[in-house]
Amino acid sequence: MKLTIKKISYGFIALTFVFAVSCGGSSSSETEDHEHAEGMEHSEATDNNNEATEHSHDEGGNETEAHEHGDATAESVMGEAFTWMAMEESKDMLAYKTDNVMMMKHGEDNVMMFSPKGGKSSCMFNGKQGNVGVTATIKLDGNDGEVKLIHHSTDKDNYEFVALNGNMMNLGRVENGEEKILDSKEFELPTDWFTLTVTAAGSHFKGYINDKMITHGHADEMAAGYVGLSASGNSMLSVKKVEATPLEAEH
Amino acid sequence: MELLPEWAPGIHPLIIHFPVALLSLAVVLTVLALFYYREWITKATLGLYTVGTLSALASYISGRSAADSIGLNLKAEVAIGTHSDWGLYTLVYFGIFTVIYYGVVFMLKKESIVFKLTLAALALLGFFILGQTAEHGGRLVFEYGLGVQK
């Protein structure tokens, strides 16, 4: 009996040891993750503007005219979390298709208007983002068209998006030109200003309207890429603000 | 009569402790069987793995529902995804392990020390995965304040 109790005690000691080792291992791997995230932010901050201008495309792959801004301030701002407000000077922060996109006054607000008129209009922000949350404050006049909030865009054939098409929200990605829908849900399209948010955290992708989750999909993590907006069809899209926030890794 | 207390944000925090307790105890008994073999212990262990895995399934489903209903929280977004991923690993791992345990102990009736050691090692690996899920879940509440009324 004495021997049995001794064996049981050894068993518990071994179990405690395994638990202690596993806890130690988890903290060190989390530290590495954090360091990796910090390293990624650094490389994003030093990214150059030339790459960003490659994204002044429309999604149909048509050649488009784009503004180029080799502005150092915009570069340093866009590599980190940013809030873009629709103002003339803030155009330096993005590359965009010149036709059908204009800056206007809407009441007291500065607003960027997309009027694709049956075609497509898009703009991309400088600075690559990895895990990111992007929120756009927008308003749609008419529901004959599609609005896409784009992220992880490395070129016109590779990006992820949340798209509003009438009362349908689609969460998906385009890889080598092929579109794949990760989740799709119906929702009630607000008639006034509202926020459209997309988050990409590892393999989890979510789409929100006014901070309420509508879609949730899963897929492999994509390489860091650019954030942007596109509109197609005949609806008029007004954009007041776009915020991109790098999502924190656990530390 | 409300089944859920008014202060509770959902069913997830109420049931999450069942898989943690049941599966941990099952792992302890699997290791104990290396030194102290009794048939009732193996039967109890199988029962604990079965009920523990079923409660892990309920926890995973309720957890997904809870994560989708909390609204936008950019600060905790990565942590929520990590906890959810570990929760899925726990469920799949213990689901497969329970079948293996039943097969080895009750169907094949393997009683050699090699099989017992292998089962104990696999159980301890499951314990590590369970621990990771619990740790990340705990951090969502105590570090990020999810499900806590302000």
**Per-residue pLDDT reduced to its tens digit, A66-116:** 333 334 344 444 556 667 766 655 565 566 665 677 777 777 778 887 877
pLDDT in tens, B1-21: 567 777 777 889 899 999 999
* Contact list, B74 vs chain A (CB under 8 Å): 133, 199, 245, 247
Contact A201 B80 (CB under 8 A): yes
d(CA A226, CA A229): 10
Q: Could you give the 3-state DSSP secondary structure of residue B27?
A: helix
- Residues A250/B79, Cβ–Cβ less than 8 Å: yes
- Provide, as residue numbers in chain B, all residues whose Cβ is less than 8 Å from the Cβ of A216: 68
Residues 6+ apart with CB under 8 A from A236: A113, A114, A115, A140, A141, A142
Confidence of residue A243 (pLDDT cuts 50, 70, 90): confident
pLDDT in tens, A132-178: 899 999 988 877 888 899 999 888 888 999 999 888 999 999 998 89
Query: Which residues from chain B sit within 8 angstroms of residue A8, using beta carbons?
Result: 32, 35-36
Domains of chain B by residue range: 12-68+84-142
C-alpha A156/C-alpha A167 separation (Å) is 26
Q: What angle do CA A22, A23, A26 make, to 5 degrees?
A: 85
Write down the pLDDT at residue B85.
94
Residue B130 has what pLDDT?
97
With an 8 Å Cβ cutoff, are B81 and A22 in contact?
no
A178 forms beta bridges with A175
Roughly what angle, to the nearest 10 degrees, separates helices A2-45 and B113-142? 50
- Going from the C-alpha of A170 to that of each of A27, A208, A248, B135, the distances in angstroms are 37, 11, 25, 33
- Parts of chain B with a pLDDT under 50: none
What are chain A's domains? 46-246 (2.60.120.560)
What are the chain A neighbours of B78 within 8 Å (beta carbons)? Answer: 131, 201-202, 247-250
Total beta-carbon pairs less than 8 A apart between chain A and chain B: 81
User: Which residues contact residue A64 at a Cβ distance below 8 angstroms, ignoring those fewer than 6 apart?
Assistant: A56, A57, A58, A97, A98, A99
CB–CB contact A211 B71 (8 Å): yes
Scanning the structure block, which residue is given the tokens 């069809």?
A: A233
Q: What's residue B120's pLDDT?
A: 94
